[in-house]
A and B are shown apart, each in its own frame.
Chain A
Amino acid sequence: MKLTSLLPLLFFLLGRPLIAASPTKAVPAAPYRITGTLVSSANGSPIQHGHLTATLVPRGSAADRQFPAPVGTFDADDHGHFSIAVPSSGMWRLVASARGYVTQAYDEHESFSSGIVLTAASPAMDVQFQLSPEATITGNVVDEAGEPIRDARVALMALSPIGPDSIQRPARIHARATTDDRGAYEFDDLLPGDYRVNVQAQVWYAIAAEQRGITTADQRPLDPSLDVTYPLTWFPGTTNPDQAENLSLRAGESRQADFQLLPIPSVHLRILPDSGVTVNGRRIQSYPMIERISPGGGQFVPVSAHIDAQGMIDIGGLAPGRYEVRMQAPGQTIKPALVDVAPGSVQTLDMSAPSAMATISINFDGIPEAEANSVQVSLIDPTTGLNVGRNGAGTYFLSGALLHQRRAGTVKRTIEVPPGRYEVVLNGKVNLYLTGITAQAAEATGRFVTVPGGNSTLTLHVADGRATLTGIALNQGKPSVGAMVLLIPATLGDPAGLNIIRRDQTNTDGSFDLNDVLPGQYILLAIDHGWAVNWRDPSTLRNYMMHGVPVDLTSTASMKETIEAQAP
């Protein structure tokens, strides 16, 4: 069972939804019951003072629109035993939390867990619920003089291994923290795995000394010893992300990751504004807005800008990195530019130079024009996982939304990105899927496009109607519980393939659900205790695929399969 996305949980936190199952506590002799013991996954010893909640998981066609409320909280006793009465049959997701352990669902692996299926025939189930002791990373951030840096932004990246489709999934930000007045930070509630840590901080005296904002007066430049910044620093102390240390955490491990940040001279960026910008014949002064692009989103940075009589802008206080510069003038938003700021230099950015960006026109084939407006096209940079498309319609977000421009009745959609290779991802209409991409003045292979600077056109061929595949995995006639179910596209390894690998975990009755599957030909297989198997290794995977079941999913098909789980 796949854990429902965060959205329904958020929905619930914001307000009690309409379709809510909110049972009162006093229910006499409920027949549906989940019992069991909470134990530590490290040594099997019982966990004291745990708390559990149970949530009904809707299955079937209406599953996406129902968000039942959790039932709980139930307390486990001193020996870890719990006994939960639930109000109805169905599939229940059981989540347990306890101090010193990571809050998890029953038999959770990555984003999957085993749902507990209760039926009239078997209304009660007893489970052994393992929780992983939480791993933590703590540390202190100090400056060049050994004094603590407060409000430094620390990011924890979790590394994902390379999949058999050879696509490097980028490290994603798992958590963020801010240092306190002693420069200390903490990441808790961590599962075992590989992590990296980086820190971005401001130099307090540079911020305080420099006059922030826009100034035009003739001023003494800031003393060089104060005109400094801290570059983005990775543990143990390098600015090169490739040299960052991997922190491999085991369950329950605590690691210390301290930083000493060393200042470097801040980079000054000289911006030559586009001299062609006029309003009613008068040259208007435009002002820069600087946004730093980093994994996980952009961030406005406080900078100081001095504008001289010719309108040239000198921006100080920048740390090396990638930035988007956007010139704002009253009533106008002018095209943005991307600049990579390298340490130790004065760089010049000529805003009137032709944009080096790729301007991509997007057309849709396969859905009516009216519906195309609700589709969101994102271009994901495969090396960083960043959504780099730019919405230039006046809103200042680095989100890959489509720019709609209505000109004389026709709708023109463009995205502006730096030239490069991207993965095309569609959002907004659940049942829609990509059947192909044709490109003009650009290359398209599978779902990846390579766009050069200048204008290009992509036609996205889409169709409506994803498929659903459900079924049961059996192990010698009995349900295989907690097995890993894999749906591998027949086009695995082909860069032109459009389909992706799907996974699920079998529930207590051996059932699995694969919803919203892209139509195509696949091999379906299940591996008993498969979560310990290195399925990402292509040759290992091909061994299993030889005993898998071929499945041909056509659009809107809804198929059921019963398969035999393979031994690990």
Chain B
Amino acid sequence: MQLARIIRSFFRFRRWALLLCVPGLIAAGLSDLSAKAQVESSLSTSHDGPATSVTISGRVVNVLTGLPVPRALVRFSDRAMLTTHDGKFEFDQVTDNRITLQVSKPGFYSTMEAGGPEGISLTPSQIAGPLELRLYPEAIIAGTVTAPDGDPLPHILVSARRRAFDGSALTWIPVAQMQTDSHGRFRLPVQSGDYKLESMYVPRINGTDQVALPAVVPMESSSGTSDFIYIKSGEEQHFDLHPAVSRAYTVAATFDSDIEHGFPRIKARSSNGATISLPVNFSHSGDAGSFRMELPSGTYTLIANVMSTDGMKQGESRVTVADRDVSGVIFHLVPVPTIPVELLLDGSETSDNAQPNLRQLGLILENDQPDSDILNAVIPLSMRRDRVMAFTAPPGAYRLRARSNGAWYVRSASYGASDLLQQEIVIGPGAGGTPIRLTVSNQTGSLQGTCDLNGAPAGCSVYLIPTTPSAETVFVQQANAQGVYNFAHLPPGTYQAVAFERRHSADYSDPASLVPFATHIRAVTINAGEKPTLDVDAVSEAEMSP
């Protein structure tokens, strides 16, 4: 946008200056016209002023087959049309200054990976040649769900979760679900990516006393590291799930303290590592703190989480279900540890207006061993009853992360003797005394530059990964349509910079995630007060898929 305005202003007032700029741009445009997946952009030289009328045309292509896609919908602002039988579209008399061109069709996605902005941002007056819009055929995860006796299990909910990174926190996002048909079959259309497939816990199949336990593909290995299904655009993969089906018995349990109308969430972890979130039934008889759940035979660790007015409480209990109902299980509730956070300003010069507060820093605790309960993957900072900001985190191991969007960054963080920028924080059951101490500073630098895709500037996603200890895993900025990006406030340190044509979700705290793109990585050092420039060239989508 800025570039266009600059050019136009030159054109109006200093035509000679334009003549200097144009050759450079034409050279950039001519350098690689042969790349298929590219939006050609060169200055149109036949316009007088901003309100020109141009024709936008092109075709839509199936990336996998290279064939044109008929009857795809191409649209921008208030105009739309379906492509012809050979995938072509044409809009005439376009007078908008900027448009976002989007293409869609059932059975396709417009990006290879999920997330990221939809559509292509364009300045119509800068388009001369035909455009090529890409569609990625969806992938299908299909299969059957079968009971142990070989009969298919109909009407069971099957869910696909996609692996995604929120910073460096691993989450599994449910993206598609469907009930199996009368033959126990299912089909889930998904975007390419990494997935886990799960058939849901079914209490009382067909009104009987049989339950179906969840079945997960791929099976979780005992070490806890989870494997995943990788599926590419256009692929169909088939899986057969065999949930265990058995008779369930009632387990009656009570809490040892009054839960004050809180709602308990109960998880049962069986001896083979599978975790079931249990539906819980409250009995309406005398005691307010008793409830019932259904479990098949086996040995379980039951974990109850209760939100009450006092804060979160947790209790654990082991139960063995043999071949009859069980009663008398008692949960000993203890408050979930809360770790307060203290903020210190860095000694050196601080401006007297902007005082940081903890909320601006976007502090979270990332669970190092997340189970399928996505509610525990990331713990946010919240205010306790005594007005102290604290993390309420069940016992476990975590990494402290910050996602700041202001001028302040976390310079150091400690918990007792641990340096939280480099080590994980281990929270034990009785924790809560020691606070997390943070030192923040606003002595930042910045970074700007242009991002090229196959030789021409484009609106890529630029990622900066700190290699010096930092509370933030990765910094991301979107370059504009002219390829210009800007990171306004960067903590001093060394970074690896890499750009992608589209958003790329990965665990950037793991160095292995960058290895395939080694040729595109640039190293840069940022010092406080400096504003260096770094031009990067982006990994194109074509390079991404194996």
Check if B73 sits within 8 Å of A208, measured CB to CB: yes
Known A-B contacts A24-B325, A188-B182, A226-B82; A15 and B281 likewise in contact (beta carbons under 8 Å): yes
Interface of A is mostly: loop
Residue numbers in A under 8 Å from B75 (CB-CB):
208-209
Instruction: Count chain B residues whose beta carbon lies closer than 8 angstroms to a beta carbon of A.
Output: 40
B492 within 8 A of A: no
A46-60, CB under 8 A of B: which get 1 and which 0?
000101010000000
A189 within 8 A of B: yes
- Interface bracket on A: 35 or more
Residue numbers in B under 8 Å from A53 (CB-CB):
207-208
A89-101, CB under 8 A of B: which get 1 and which 0?
0000001010100
Check if B78 sits within 8 Å of A219, measured CB to CB: yes
Q: Given the complex of chains A and B, what is the CA–CA distance between A209 and B73 in angstroms?
A: 8
Check if A205 sits within 8 Å of B210, measured CB to CB: no
Q: Given the complex of chains A and B, what is the CA–CA distance between A143 and B138 in angstroms?
A: 20
User: Which one, B81, B104, B178, B181, contacts A188 given CB within 8 A?
Assistant: B181
User: Which one, B151, B154, B281, B323, contacts A26 given CB within 8 A?
Assistant: B323
Q: Given the complex of chains A and B, what is the CA–CA distance between A51 and B247 in angstroms?
A: 13
Check if A72 sits within 8 Å of B209, measured CB to CB: yes
User: Which one, B73, B178, B285, contacts A18 given CB within 8 A?
Assistant: B285
Contact residues of B between 364 and 400, Cβ < 8 Å to A: none
Q: Given the complex of chains A and B, what is the CA–CA distance between A14 and B281 in angstroms?
A: 8
Contact residues of B between 506 and 535, Cβ < 8 Å to A: none
Check if B78 sits within 8 Å of A181, measured CB to CB: no
Known A-B contacts A97-B206, A147-B71; A211 and B78 likewise in contact (beta carbons under 8 Å): yes
Q: What is the minimal beta-carbon distance from A250 to any residue of chain B, in angstroms?
A: 18
Check if B325 sits within 8 Å of A22, measured CB to CB: yes
Residue numbers in A under 8 Å from B285 (CB-CB):
18
Residue numbers in B under 8 Å from A24 (CB-CB):
323-325
Q: What is the minimal beta-carbon distance from B159 to any residue of chain A, in angstroms?
A: 15
Q: What is the minimal beta-carbon distance from A179 to any residue of chain B, in angstroms?
A: 11
- Chain B residue nearest to A188 in the complex (CB): B182
Residue numbers in A under 8 Å from B187 (CB-CB):
180-182
B93-107, CB under 8 A of A: which get 1 and which 0?
000000000001011
Check if B207 sits within 8 Å of A13, measured CB to CB: yes
Contact residues of A between 153 and 202, Cβ < 8 Å to B: 180-182, 186, 188-189
Q: What is the minimal beta-carbon distance from A302 to any residue of chain B, in angstroms?
A: 16
Check if A49 sits within 8 Å of B151, measured CB to CB: yes
A1-44, CB under 8 A of B: which get 1 and which 0?
00000000100111110100010111000000000000000000
Check if B208 sits within 8 Å of A72, measured CB to CB: yes
B14 within 8 A of A: no
Interface hub of A9, A26, A73 (most chain B Cβ within 10 A)? A73
Check if B208 sits within 8 Å of A180, measured CB to CB: no
Q: What is the minimal beta-carbon distance from A225 to any residue of chain B, in angstroms?
A: 8
A503 within 8 A of B: no
- Chain B residue nearest to A143 in the complex (CB): B71
Check if A223 sits within 8 Å of B206, measured CB to CB: no
Contact residues of B between 273 and 297, Cβ < 8 Å to A: 281-285, 292
Check if B71 sits within 8 Å of A145, measured CB to CB: yes
Contact residues of B between 121 and 146, Cβ < 8 Å to A: 138, 140
Check if A12 sits within 8 Å of B207, measured CB to CB: yes
Residue numbers in A under 8 Å from B281 (CB-CB):
14-16
| Given pairs A13-B203, A16-B250, A24-B325, 15 additional interface contacts (CB within 8 A) | A12-B207, A25-B324, A69-B209, A73-B208, A73-B209, A134-B182, A136-B182, A181-B106, A181-B138, A181-B140, A181-B187, A189-B182, A209-B75, A225-B82, A226-B80
The 4 closest A-B pairs by CB, nearest first: A188-B182, A209-B80, A15-B281, A73-B208
- Could you jot down 24 A-B contacts, CB within 8 Å? A12-B204, A12-B207, A13-B203, A16-B250, A18-B285, A24-B323, A49-B149, A69-B209, A70-B208, A72-B209, A97-B206, A99-B152, A103-B206, A136-B182, A147-B71, A180-B178, A186-B181, A205-B71, A208-B73, A209-B73, A211-B78, A219-B78, A222-B80, A226-B81
